[in-house]
Amino acid sequence: AQTVTQSQPEMSVQEAETVTLSCTYDTSESDYYLFWYKQPPSRQMILVIRQEAYKQQNATENRFSVNFQKAAKSFSLKISDSQLGDAAMYFCATILTYKYIFGTGTRLKVLA
Amino acid sequence: GAGVSQSPSNKVTEKGKDVELRCDPISGHTALYWYRQRLGQGLEFLIYFQGNSAPDKSGLPSDRFSAERTGESVSTLTIQRTQQEDSAVYLCASSSVTGSYEQYFGPGTRLTVT
């Protein structure tokens, strides 16, 4: 079965510092996508970053980057220069055919 | 264009009543998903629609839950004889089935069963 595990229920980071959120997954697929979604208090889920498994290069979107380790089935999210607006729940996810599998989330607190 | 919209944004209902939640997907998105998110939890898959194919209902928790979608338009999620454990945020998402499979989420409906 396809699973996604986020082992950090909560993380804190000082404003302007860097934080890394962990995610591991298990899949029997050879090609797949991985995602990080952000859910602020407004509840609106927003895609942060996406990685295609066949691409070796780590995806980057401005202050957000991933460390994708395919052999280890690890997909961590690094947020650089953290801002107060980054405070939210972050969900790691993968897709099996059409069905998304989400982790349980990590709540990120940003300290001023 | 417009994003995914859901209505109502909040719904309070008495135990035993039926409720209907609505989702308007992004125009042109053939895939539509419903999820349930209990307080402090992750997203729980409920049902998936793809075009005119038979929906994947494997995530519906009981026969009190049903959903419909006409073609590639609006979807409604109906919960009959609501129970307190049905209290949650119900999220809808739509996506194109080509390309990156990115899901676009609506703002959700917060359902409270008293």
Residue B72's pLDDT is 80
DSSP string, A4-70: EE---SEEEEETTS-EEE--EEE---SS-EEEEEEE-TT---EEEEEEETT--SPPEETTEEEEEET
Q: Does B47 touch chain A (CB under 8 A)?
A: no
Domains of chain B, each with CATH number or no CATH: 5-96 (2.60.40.10)
Model confidence pLDDT, tens digit, residues A79-94: 999 999 999 999 999 9
Q: Which residue has the higher pLDDT, A107 or A41?
A: A107
Distance from CA of B26 to the nearest CA of A (A): 15
Is A98 close to B91, i.e. CB distance below 8 A? Answer: no
Would the CB atoms of A100 and B43 count as touching at under 8 Å? yes
> Amino acid letter at B47?
I
Q: Which of A33, A46, A104 sits opposite B100 (nearest CB)?
A: A33
| Mutation site, B23, B41, B103, interface A, largest A CB count within 10 A | B103
Domains of chain A: 3-111 (2.60.40.10)
| Selected residue of A98, A104, A106, A107 to mutate for chain B interface (largest B Cβ count, 10 A) | A98
Q: Report, as an integer, the average pLDDT of B37-43.
A: 87
pLDDT digits (tens, 9 = 90+) for A25-37: 998 887 888 999 9
pLDDT in the model for residue B100: 61
Q: If pLDDT is split at 50, 70 and 90, which confidence band does B25 have?
A: very high
Chain A contact set for B2 (CB, 8 A):
none
What pLDDT score does B23 carry?
97
Judging contacts by C-beta atoms under 8 Å, the chain B residues touching residue A91 are 42-43
Q: In the predicted model, what is the mean pLDDT of residues B29-47? A: 91
- Is the per-residue pLDDT at B1 higher than 60? no
**Percent residues over pLDDT 70 in chain A:** 99
**Cβ pair B15, B113 in contact under 8 A:** yes
Q: Residue B58 pLDDT > 60, yes or no?
A: yes
Q: What is the pLDDT of residue A54?
A: 87
Mean pLDDT of chain A: 92
